[in-house]
Structure 1
Amino acid sequence: MEVFGSSGTRGVANDELTPAFVLRVAKAAGTAWGVDRVAIARDTRYTGRMLADAAASGLASTGTDVDRLGVVPTPGAQFYAEREAIPVIVVTASHNPPQYNGIKLVGSDGVELAVSDLERIEEALLAEAYTVAPWDGTGRVREVEGVTDDYVDALLEAVDRETIADAELTVALDPGHGAGSLTSPGFFRELGCRVVTVNSQPDGHFPGRDPEPVPENLAELGRLVRATDADVGIAHDGDADRAIFFDENGEYVEGDATLAALAAAELEAGDTTVSAVNVSQRLVDVVDDVGAELELTPIGSTNIITRIEELEAKDSRVPIAGEGNGGIFFPGYRLSRDGAFTAARFLELVAERPVSEIVAPYGGYANVRRNIEYESTAERDAMLDAAANHAHAADADLNTRDGYRLDYGDAWVLARPSGTEPLVRIYAEARDAGRANDLAEGMYKTLLEAKADA
C-alpha cells in the first residue's frame, strides 16, 4: 500500500499530512464505505481539530452524516464504533512526536480495517473516484458528548473491580498529555485505587514529555513512583492504546516482560498467540512452557489483527496477542489495543503480588534499540541493501518477513524501516547486555556507513 502502512497514515502535520490530504482520505473512505453515518475522533494533538474539521468536510461531501466525538482515546473511539455499528476516522499519530499527526480507520465492528479494506479505500483515493452528493444531500455534522464516560463505564464492567479495589493499590499515572488524560485517572480511581499523576493535563504540545512511552521519556514517572510509595507506575502513549509499567521501586519494566507475564496468565496448552517479528524470547519461553503456539507477523497492529481474525476463523483460541511496545490485544474483550484495559488486567496481577515479582521470571534479557533517520528514498534503500548484505553474510537464521531478523540462538538483531516515521529501526536482544549492544552496534555502523555513501 502506498498510503496506509502498518498503523494508518502519518506525517508531519500541515507539511506531509495536510488538511487537503485528510479531506481526500475522508472522501475516499466515505465513498468506499457507502454508509449513512461515520464518526470522527481525535487525540490531543495541536493540529487534531484542524484535521478533524477537514475529515468532517470530506465525509459530508459524500453525503455521509458525521458524529464528532472530540478528544477520545483510540480504544474509546473503537468502543463507540462497535456500539453504534458505524465506522470511525481517528485523527491520531499515536506515539509519534508532537509535530506529527495521522489517520487511523476503524470499521463498524470497532476493529482497525484489514489490509483488503484499506486497499479499497486507497484505490478510491489514488483514482480520485469519490462520491459527490448534491448540495441538498450533503451530510449533517453533530457533536456527540459523553463518549469518554461511556467508554470508562464499559471498561469497569469488563475487569475484576473487586480484586483490584480490595488490594488498595496506589497507582502513579503518566498519560503523557494525551487522550488518556481524560479517562485513565478517573478509571483507576473508580477501580478503588489511589491515583497520583504527572503529565495528566491534556496538551497537544506535549510539554512534559514526548508521546512515546519509552524509558528516556518516563524519568518523571519513576520518580513519582518512588516519591509516593506507589505500587505500580503506568504510562500511555498519545492515544492511550498502549500501557507501559514501572515496578514498586520506580524501575522501568520492559514491555516484553509485561507481555510475557500477561501471556503466562492467559495462555493454556493448545492456544495460539500472535506477535511481530521483533518478538522477545520472553514470550517464546512462555509459549513453550505452556504448550501454546506462536504466530509471527510483520510489525504493526493491522498485521496482528489480520492474523488473529484468520486464526479465529479456523476456531483457534487466541486469548492474548500483541507487541512488547505496550500494545496488547485481549480478543475476548475487544479486538483493539487498549492501554487502560491492559493496565487493569495487569493490576489484577499486582493485587496478588508486587510488580517486581510478577516480571521476575521474564528478566535476564537485555534489549537495545537504535534509530537512524533518513532524508531521502536513496538513503533508506542504501541502508536496507546494506542490512540485506549484512544479514546474508552472518552465521545466523534469517527471517525476512519484515526487514532482516538474524537469530543466533543466544541472541537476535533486527533491522527494518519504520512504517510511520522516516527511520530505519534496529532492535537487538540477548541474555548478555554486551552481546545485545554489540549486535545492535554492528548493524548500526553498517547502515550508517551505507547512508553516508548514498
Structure 2
Amino acid sequence: MKLFGSSGTRGVVGESLTPEFVLRVAKAAGTVWNADRVAIARDTRTTGEMFVNAAESGLASVGVDVDDLGVVPTPAAVRYCENQSVPGVVITASHNPPEFNGVKLVGDDGVELAVEELERIEDHILAEEFDVAEWDAVGSVRSVETANDDYREDLLANVDREQIADANLTVAVDPGHGAGSLVTPDFLRELGCEVRTVNAQPDGHFPGRQSEPVPENLRDLERLVRATDADVGIAHDGDADRAVFVNERGECISGEASLAALAAAALEPGDATVSAVNVSQRLVDVCEEVGADLELTPIGATNLITRVRELWREGRNVPVAGEGNGGVFYPNYRLVRDGAYIAAKFLELVAERPPSELVAPYEGYDNVRINLEYDEEAELTAMLNAAADYAESADATPNTTDGYRLDYGDAWVLVRPSGTEPKVRVYAEGRSEERATELAEDAADALRRAVATL
C-alpha cells in the first residue's frame, strides 16, 4: 500500500497530511463502503477539528450521513461502530508528536479495515474515483454526545468490578492530555479505585509530556505513584488504545513484561496468541510454559488483526494478542486495542499481588530501540540495502517477516522501516543492557555508514 501503513495513514500536518488529502480519503471510503451513515471521531490534537470538518465534507459529498462523536478514545469509536453497524473514520495520530495527525478507518463490524479493503479505498483515492452525490442527495451531520458514556458502561460490564473494588486500590493515571482523559479516570473511580491524575486535561499541545507512553515520558507518573503511595500507575497514548504501567515503587514496567503477565493469565493449553516480529522472548517463554501457539506477523495493529481473524476461521481460540508497546488485544471481548480495558485487566491481577511481583518472572531481558530518521527516499533505500547486507553477513538466519530479525539465542536484533514515520527502527533485546546495546548499535552503525556515503 502506498498511502496506508501498519495503522492507518499519518503525517505532519500541512506537509504530508492536509485537509485536501483527508477529504479525498473520506470521499473514497464513502464510495467503497456504500453506507448510508458513517461515524467520525477524533483525539485531542489541535488539528483534529479541521480534519473532522474535511472528512465530514468528503463523506457528505458522496451522499453519506455522518455521526460526529467528538473527542473520544479510539476504542470508544470502534465500540460505537460495532454497536450501530456503521463504518467509521477516526482522526488520530495515536502516540505521535503533536504536529502529526492521521486517519484510521474502521469497518461496520467495529474492526479496523483489513489490508484488502484499505487497498480498494487507496485505489479510489489515487484514481480520484468518487460517487459524488447530486445537490439534493448530499449527506448531513449530526452530533452524538453519548459515545464516551456508553463506552464506559460497556467497560464496566465486562471486567471483574468486585475483585478490583475489594482490593481498595489507589491508582495513579497519566492520560497524556489525550482522549483517555475523558474516560479512564472516571472509569477507574467507578471500579472502586482511589484515583490520582497527572496530565489529565485534554490538550492537543501535550504540554505535560509527549504522547508516546515510554519511560522517558513518564517521570511525572512515576513521581505521582511515589508521592501518593499508589498501588500502580497507568499511562495512555493520545487515543488511549494503549496502556503502560508503573509499579508500586514508581518504576516503569516494560510493555513486554506487562504483555507477558497478561498473556500468562489469559492463555490456556491449545490456545493461540498473535504478536509481531519484534516479539520479546518473554512472550515466547509464556507460550512454551502454557502450551499455547505463538503466531508472528509484521509489526502493526492491522497485521495482528488480520492474523487473529484467520485463526478464528480455523476454529482457534485467541484470548489475547498484542505487541510490547502497551497495545494489547482481548479479541473475545472486542478486536481492538483498548487502553482502559487493558488497564482494568491488569488491575484484576494487581488486586491479588503487587505489580512488581506480578511481572518479576518476565524481567530477565533488557530492550534497546534506536530510531534513524531520514529526509529523502534515497536515504531510506540506502539504509534498507545496508540492513539486507548486514543480515546476509550475520552469524544468524534472518527472519524477513517484517524487516530483518536476527536471533542469537541469548539476544536478537531487528531492523525495519516505520509504518507511520520517516524512520528506520532498530530493536534489540538481550539478557543484559550491554548485549542489547551492542547489537543495536552495531546494526545502526551499518545503516549510518550507508547514509553517510550518499
| TM value normalised by structure 1 | 1.00
Q: CA-to-partner distance for each residue in 1:124-165, whole Å, 9 max, x for gaps?
A: 111101001000100011111111011000000000000000
Query: 1:109-128 counterparts in 2 under 5 A?
Result: 109-128=109-128
- 2:424 aligned with 1:424, yes or no? yes
In the alignment, which residue of structure 2 is the partner of 1:218? 218
In the alignment, which residue of structure 2 is the partner of 1:8? 8
In the alignment, which residue of structure 2 is the partner of 1:83? 83
Deviation beyond 2 Å, 4+ runs, structure 1 = none
- 2:90 aligned with 1:100, yes or no? no
Query: 1:217-296 counterparts in 2 under 5 A?
Result: 217-296=217-296
Residue identity in the other structure for 2:79: F
- What is the SS of the residue equivalent to 1:252? coil
Q: CA-to-partner distance for each residue in 1:19-69, whole Å, 9 max, x for gaps?
A: 000000000000000010001000000000000000000000000000110
In the alignment, which residue of structure 1 is the partner of 2:360? 360
In the alignment, which residue of structure 1 is the partner of 2:327? 327
Q: How far apart are 1:15 and its partner, in Å?
A: 1.8
Q: How far apart are 1:428 and its partner, in Å?
A: 0.3
Distance in 2, Cα, partners of 1:421 & 1:453: 23
Q: CA-to-partner distance for each residue in 1:223-273, whole Å, 9 max, x for gaps?
A: 110000000000000000000000000001000000000110011111100
Distance in 2, Cα, partners of 1:313 & 1:450: 44
Residue identity in the other structure for 2:248: E
- What is the SS of the residue equivalent to 1:426? strand
In the alignment, which residue of structure 1 is the partner of 2:167? 167
- 2:396 aligned with 1:396, yes or no? yes
In the alignment, which residue of structure 2 is the partner of 1:304? 304
Residue identity in the other structure for 2:84: E
Q: Percent identity?
A: 69
Distance in 2, Cα, partners of 1:34 & 1:247: 48
**Structure 2 portions without partners, runs of 5+:** none
| TM value normalised by structure 2 | 1.00
Contact 1:176 1:209 (C-alpha < 8 Å) held by counterparts: yes
- What is the SS of the residue equivalent to 1:123? helix
Q: How far apart are 1:448 and its partner, in Å?
A: 1.0
- 2:196 aligned with 1:193, yes or no? no
Distance in 2, Cα, partners of 1:270 & 1:372: 40
Residue identity in the other structure for 1:44: T
**Structure 1 portions without partners, runs of 5+:** none
Distance in 2, Cα, partners of 1:205 & 1:79: 27
Distance in 2, Cα, partners of 1:293 & 1:442: 32
Q: How far apart are 1:452 and its partner, in Å?
A: 1.5
Distance in 2, Cα, partners of 1:269 & 1:392: 37
Q: CA-to-partner distance for each residue in 1:326-366, whole Å, 9 max, x for gaps?
A: 00000010000000000000000000000000000001101
In the alignment, which residue of structure 1 is the partner of 2:376? 376
- What is the SS of the residue equivalent to 1:31? helix
In the alignment, which residue of structure 2 is the partner of 1:181? 181
- What is the SS of the residue equivalent to 1:120? helix
Distance in 2, Cα, partners of 1:219 & 1:385: 38
Distance in 2, Cα, partners of 1:49 & 1:108: 23
Distance in 1, Cα, partners of 2:238 & 2:452: 33
Residue identity in the other structure for 2:22: V
Q: How far apart are 1:444 and its partner, in Å?
A: 1.2
Distance in 2, Cα, partners of 1:293 & 1:32: 36
- What is the SS of the residue equivalent to 1:253? coil
Distance in 2, Cα, partners of 1:374 & 1:354: 42
- What is the SS of the residue equivalent to 1:269? coil
In the alignment, which residue of structure 1 is the partner of 2:50? 50
- What is the SS of the residue equivalent to 1:379? helix
Distance in 1, Cα, partners of 2:261 & 2:28: 42
Distance in 2, Cα, partners of 1:124 & 1:149: 36
Distance in 1, Cα, partners of 2:42 & 2:262: 29
Distance in 1, Cα, partners of 2:452 & 2:371: 15
- What is the SS of the residue equivalent to 2:308? helix
- What is the SS of the residue equivalent to 1:288? helix
In the alignment, which residue of structure 2 is the partner of 1:444? 444
Q: How far apart are 1:396 and its partner, in Å?
A: 1.0
- What is the SS of the residue equivalent to 1:113? coil
Contact 1:397 1:408 (C-alpha < 8 Å) held by counterparts: no
Distance in 1, Cα, partners of 2:249 & 2:331: 32
How many residues matched? Answer: 454
In the alignment, which residue of structure 2 is the partner of 1:203? 203
- Superposition RMSD in Å: 0.5
- What is the SS of the residue equivalent to 2:426? strand
